[in-house]
C-alpha cells in the first residue's frame, strides 16, 4: 500500500478496530515520509456479485457506486459521512444476505430509498428522482403526495 499523499511505501498503523458489526477493520495509518495520516478499511471479499441493470445489462457490484449516489443526494444537506457509510454498509449486508450471484439494481435502489427516507426527506426525493427516472414536475408532486 502507498501513501495517498506522497506515494511513500513506509507506513505505520496507529490504530485498528473492528467496524460494521465485525465485518471490516478500520485502520488509522501514518506515512513515515510525509507524516500525514489517513484511514483504510479492510473487508473480506465474499464472492463476485453482478448487478442486473434495468435494461438487462450486467455489471460488477461496486459499493462505491451506491455511496456516490447517496453522496449526490445528500449534497448540501445535514447528513454526516459516517451516516452515509452506515447506509452503504446496511445495503451491502442486505444484498449479501440474499446469497445470489446476481442482484437487481431496482432492489438496490429500493434499499437505499428506504434508508434515506428515514434520514433526510430532501435527499430521499433527490435519490428517488434519479432512481425512479422523474421526467417532470408532476413526477415530483406525485412522490411527495404519496409520502404525505
> Using 50, 70 and 90 to split pLDDT, how confident is the model at 56?
very high
Whole-angstrom distance, CA of residue 72 vs CA of residue 41: 22
pLDDT at 108 over 90: yes
**pLDDT one-digit tens code per residue, 112-146:** 999 999 999 999 999 989 888 888 888 888 888 88
**pLDDT reading at 9 higher than 90:** yes
Q: For 13-50, what is each residue's pLDDT tens digit?
A: 999 998 877 777 899 999 999 999 999 988 766 567 89
pLDDT surpasses 80 at 148: no
pLDDT of res. 46? 57
CA 148 to mean position of chain CA atoms? 27
Please state the separation of Cα 66 from the chain's center in Å.
4
> What is the value of pTM for the model shown?
0.68
pLDDT value of residue 44:
67
Structure confidence at residue 43 (pLDDT): 74
- Match 408532486 to its residue by C-alpha cell: 141
Minimal CA–CA distance to 111: which of 99, 43, 98, 80? Answer: 98
Q: What is the pLDDT of residue 107?
A: 93
Query: pLDDT tens digits for 81-98?
Result: 999 999 999 999 899 887
Angle between helices 81-97 and 105-119 (to 10 degrees): 140
Amino acid at each position: 500500500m502507498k501513501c495517498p499523499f506522497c506515494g511513500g511505501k513506509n507506513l505505520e498503523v496507529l490504530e485498528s478496530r473492528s467496524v460494521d458489526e465485525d465485518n471490516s477493520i478500520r485502520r488509522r495509518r501514518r506515512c513515515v515520509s510525509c507524516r500525514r495520516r489517513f484511514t483504510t478499511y479492510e473487508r473480506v471479499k465474499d464472492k463476485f456479485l453482478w448487478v442486473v441493470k434495468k435494461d438487462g445489462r450486467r455489471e460488477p457490484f461496486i459499493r462505491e457506486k451506491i455511496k456516490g449516489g447517496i453522496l449526490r443526494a445528500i449534497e448540501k444537506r445535514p447528513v454526516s459521512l459516517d451516516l452515509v457509510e452506515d447506509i452503504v454498509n446496511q445495503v451491502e449486508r442486505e444484498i449479501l444476505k440474499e446469497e445470489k450471484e446476481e442482484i437487481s439494481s431496482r432492489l438496490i435502489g429500493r434499499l437505499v430509498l428506504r434508508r434515506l427516507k428515514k434520514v433526510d426527506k430532501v435527499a430521499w426525493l433527490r435519490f428517488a428522482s434519479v432512481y425512479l427516472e422523474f421526467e417532470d414536475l408532476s413526477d415530483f408532486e406525485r412522490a411527495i403526495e404519496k409520502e404525505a
